Amino acid sequence: MSQKTNDRTTRSNYLLHNILIFVLLIVVVVLFVLLTRSTKSIVRAPGTLPADAVACGVEGGGFSCSGLLDHKLTLANVPPGVTPYLLPISASDESKFAGLPKDGFQCVISIAGNLAFFDKGGSMVKSFASPVAMQIAYTGNDIEKLSGCKSGLTEADLVPVYLYSPDADARVSIWKPFQNYNMDGSTATIEFQFWGDPPIGWGSPKSK
């Protein structure tokens, strides 16, 4: 084989090698983007008010929020200058986050909304000097969906839940039941002094 033939072969191999490296880099970048999207949490980092957030309406001395799937949230004792908002949850987000791990109950029956509080400057408010009271009621649709979780469940097995995502690593998001709440018929009353922007809803059945 002549030197010229060897040179052509070498150049061809070098070109093929570079093409393979380029293709491999593209694959790595695509996989990284897909992995990032798959682990992206619906819980947003504290910051400015998102443009697509919906302010809860003023009702009496408090606020009323129209959540997903006909859920209604009412809030009392919200400090002056602070407004509750519902952050958007897409259908794909709703499905994805309902499938996240659960601690203290078995199934996410419904996601009512993604509640957050912002001041007049558009900054998130995460702590309150005195407890804020939130009421959330389960719906007839929630009761109907119980059979899809486990047979024999009744509305007495419903528990209000929230998606816990630590600021340090939102990829470890996990659903938890509220520990301190009072039930009056179909309505749960929850008081809190610390809040981020967790999705909330109803789960079942609560662990004994």
CATH value at residue 68: 2.60.220
In a domain, 124, yes or no: yes
Shared domain for 118 and 78, answered yes or no, is yes
Structurally, how many domains does the chain consist of?
2
Please tell me the predicted confidence (pLDDT) of residue 45. Answer: 46
Residue 48 lies in a domain: no
Q: Which residues contact 102 (CB under 8 A, 6 or more apart)?
A: 108, 161, 174, 175, 176, 203
Residues 116 and 34 in one domain: no
- Residues 188-205: tens digit of each pLDDT: 999 999 998 899 999 999
Confidence of residue 38 (pLDDT cuts 50, 70, 90): very low
CA-to-CA separations, 54 to 19, 51, 66, 115, 205, in angstroms, rounded? 49, 9, 9, 10, 31
Check pLDDT > 80 for residue 72: yes
CB 142 within 8 A of CB 67: no
Asked if residues 106 and 151 have their Cβ atoms less than 8 Å apart, the reply is no
pLDDT for the residue numbered 166: 79
Residues 92 and 175 in one domain: yes
Please write the tens of the pLDDT for every residue from 116-148: 999 999 999 999 999 999 999 999 999 999 999
172: confidence class by pLDDT, cuts 50, 70, 90: confident
Q: Is residue 46 part of a domain?
A: no
pLDDT on residue 37: 43
Decide if 43 is inside a domain: no
Lowest-pLDDT choice from 37-51, 89-103, 184-198? 37-51
